[in-house]
Structure formats: C-alpha cells, structure tokens
C-alpha cells in the first residue's frame, strides 16, 4: 500500500539511489522509484518533473554529501578527497555512469547542462577551498588555486571515465601515484616558501 504523500524530497532521493543501485540505470524509472519509496507516481512527479531532474538531483546530493564530509575534516583534506574519489572510481560505478549519462544528455538539454555546470562549479570551488587549507598560495607561480581546483576535479573525472571504459583500469596504482603527485606539489610548495 502506498504511503501518504508526506515524504520529503530528501527521502525520495535516498529511495531513488537505492532503486538505482538495485535496478541499474537502464531499468531506472520514476515508477520504480515510486515502488521503492512506497508512494504514488504523482508524489514523485510533485518533487521531480522528469527522470532527468531526479537523476541530476541524485548527482548533486552525492556531491554535496561528499564535499560536506570532506570539508568537516581539518587534517588530510586532500587525502580524504582522493580516497572519496577513488571509492567511486570503478568499472561499474553507478555514480559515474549516471554522471556521464547526464553529461551526454546535457548536449541536447540546456536545463541539465545548466544544473551540471552548477554542480561542477560548486565542486571546483570546494576543491579550491580545501586547497587553501593546504596551501596559502599556488605551488607554481602563475597557476592560481582556483585553476588547481579545476585541474584536480578534471583529473578525478577523467580517471573515472577511463575506469568506466576499461575493465582492467589500474585504479589502485593510479590513485597511489595521484597521491604522490599531490605530495610532490606540497613539497614543491614547501621549497618555494623557504
């Protein structure tokens, strides 16, 4: 029996994530989300006009949750951010399948493009904010902290794309070396400051 229409948008997003994990993106429908949540489809349409809007909201929720968790830590911020990115980097990552499916959809849908652009800008800003905890200035003259945030975010997304496309992508090795890259930047920054 369906629950009354007293369910929050946040709870629906949680149910939608569960549905996405259980059914996969190919069988993910608003009807399936309604069944998972135990509500009517009308309730889903009240909060999300389209499947694409719900998918974008799921991506935004995951990003905001992970950046909130990372920003609460004052120590090892970059290491924690890399560990979080690595945890979502896999051949069957539903988050990245969803994200890149939405990116492809955004080429023909300005609303999705605008929303994804906002999410990426928020991620870039969060990364830059975390870098300012680590560095007072850029480790390389002429490259701003904002640009470092964009670079690192693009690296994470690029690695995720490669992992989605290559079943044998060396995630462990790549992220270990990514950490060494960031460590080298930190060392470079320390040498410049001396």
Q: What is the CATH number of the domain that holds 58?
A: 1.10.357.10
Per the prediction, the chain carries an average pLDDT of: 86
- State whether 175 and 88 are in the same domain: yes
* Residue range 123-182, pLDDT digits in tens: 899 889 888 888 888 989 999 999 999 999 999 999 999 999 999 999 999 999 999 998
The tally of CA atoms less than 13 A away on the side-chain side of residue 194 is 6
Residue 191 binned pLDDT confidence (cut-offs 50, 70, 90): low
- When divided into structural domains, the chain yields a total of 2
Q: Give the domain range for residue 95.
A: 51-193
Q: Which of 23, 33, 37 lies closest to 54 in space, CA to CA?
A: 33
- State whether 22 and 96 are in the same domain: no
- State whether 74 and 156 are in the same domain: yes
Its sign, for the CA torsion 25, 29, 44, 6, is negative
* 132 Cβ contact partners less than 8 Å away, ≥ 6 residues apart: 145
- State whether 64 and 139 are in the same domain: yes
* 147 Cβ contact partners less than 8 Å away, ≥ 6 residues apart: 138
What is the CATH number for 13? 1.10.10
Q: What pLDDT is attached to residue 190?
A: 62
Residue 1 has pLDDT above 50, yes or no: no
* 96 Cβ contact partners less than 8 Å away, ≥ 6 residues apart: 88, 89, 160, 161, 163, 164
Q: What pLDDT is attached to residue 72?
A: 66
Query: Structure pTM?
Result: 0.79
Q: Which of 105, 144, 112, 113 lies closest to 128 in space, CA to CA?
A: 144
- State whether 27 and 121 are in the same domain: no
- State whether 72 and 123 are in the same domain: yes
* Residue range 33-83, pLDDT digits in tens: 999 999 999 999 999 988 888 988 988 888 887 777 666 665 567 778 888
* Residue range 76-123, pLDDT digits in tens: 677 788 888 898 899 988 888 888 888 888 898 898 899 899 999 988
Rg over CA atoms, the chain = 19
- State whether 17 and 73 are in the same domain: no
Residue 2 has pLDDT above 60, yes or no: no
Domain boundary, last residue among 9, 31, 49 = 49
Token representation of residue 173: 């090795």
Q: How far apart are alpha carbons 120 and 117 in whole angstroms?
A: 5
């Amino acid at each position: 029996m369906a629950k009354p229409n007293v369910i929050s948008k946040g709870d629906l997003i949680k149910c939608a994530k569960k549905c996405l994990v259980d059914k996969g993106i190919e069988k993910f429908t608003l009807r399936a989300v309604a069944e998972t949540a135990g509500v009517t489809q009308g309730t889903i349409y009240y909060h999300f006009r389209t499947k694409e809007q719900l998918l974008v909201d799921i991506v935004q929720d995951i990003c905001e949750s992970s950046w909130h968790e990372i920003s609460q830590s004052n120590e090892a911020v970059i290491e924690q951010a890399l560990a979080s990115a690595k945890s979502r980097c896999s051949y069957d990552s539903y988050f990245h399948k969803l994200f890149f499916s939405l990116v492809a959809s955004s080429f023909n849908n300005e609303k999705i493009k605008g929303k994804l652009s906002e999410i990426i800008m928020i991620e870039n800003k969060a990364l830059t904010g975390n870098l300012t905890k680590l560095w007072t200035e850029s480790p390389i003259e002429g490259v701003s902290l904002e640009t470092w945030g964009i670079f690192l975010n693009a690296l994470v997304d690029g690695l995720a794309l490669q992992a989605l496309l290559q079943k044998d992508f060396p995630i462990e090795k790549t992220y270990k070396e990514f950490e060494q890259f960031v460590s080298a930047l930190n060392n470079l920054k320390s040498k410049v400051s001396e």
